[in-house]
Structure 1
Amino acid sequence: MNNRLYVGNLAYSMRDESLIQQFSQFGSVTSAKVMMERETGRSKGFGFVEMGSDTEAQDAINGLNGRSVEGRAMTVNIARPMEARPSFGGGGDRGGYRGSRY
């Protein structure tokens, strides 16, 4: 198992400290991060929590998955590794002047 958790369906007002508060009742929280939009600084509605052990992570899943926090039922499960995104590469002819005279 893994001790890194995905936390979804968060209220947009949730911050890192709120996640720590919710999850610390199930053990030690190594890290907690609510993902934020770069441009606006607004929450994306999900985050990640790392618990001190696999047992604590499972306890947090059992205790918090589906629990209503700030009016929204949180989704808590084991975080999956990020999938590789396809590389579209660069380049290609985009037109314009390239040193030739038509």
Structure 2
Amino acid sequence: MTIFIGNLSFDAEQEDIIGVFTSYGEVKDCKIPLDRETGRKRGFAFVEMVNEADEQKAIDDLQDVEWMGRNIRVNKAEPRRDSRDGRRSDYGGGRNRR
């Protein structure tokens, strides 16, 4: 399971987020997506922890907590939906068929 952290301060760094979540258990991964055009943070992050029970405890404890001046949203991350009809396309560029 991956955790979504929303409404993050744009000042939050990966080390800051890991610091908060390591108090609940071992952090496996932390990603802060950047805007493709500007390279700036988008105000959310994803954290994956080693133990799923630790992830759930972090979600329960940190939901709507003020952190770095903002009330963060902490939820189970939902699978990404890429198309308008809600179906995800897992297909790449493909090959040129003649």
- Structure 1 segments of 4+ aligned residues over 2 angstroms from their partners: 38-41
Q: Which has the larger radius of gyration?
A: 1
Question: Which structure 1 segments of 5+ residues have no match?
Answer: 87-102
Give 1 or 2: higher strand fraction.
Answer: 1
Alignment of 1:38-49 (within 5 A): 38-49=36-47
Identity level (%): 36
- Where 1:7 maps in the other structure, the secondary structure is strand
RMSD: 1.5
- Where 2:81 maps in the other structure, the secondary structure is coil
The equivalent residue for 1:75 is 73
Question: Which structure 2 segments of 5+ residues have no match?
Answer: 85-98
The equivalent residue for 1:33 is 31
| TM-score, normalised via structure 2 length | 0.79
Decide which of 5, 8, 13 is 2:6's aligned counterpart: 8
Q: Tell me if structure 2 keeps the 8 A contact 1:14–1:43.
A: no
- Where 1:22 maps in the other structure, the secondary structure is helix
Note the alpha carbon deviations across 1:20-61, whole angstroms, 9 max, x for none.
011110001000111111232211001100011210110110
The equivalent residue for 2:82 is 84
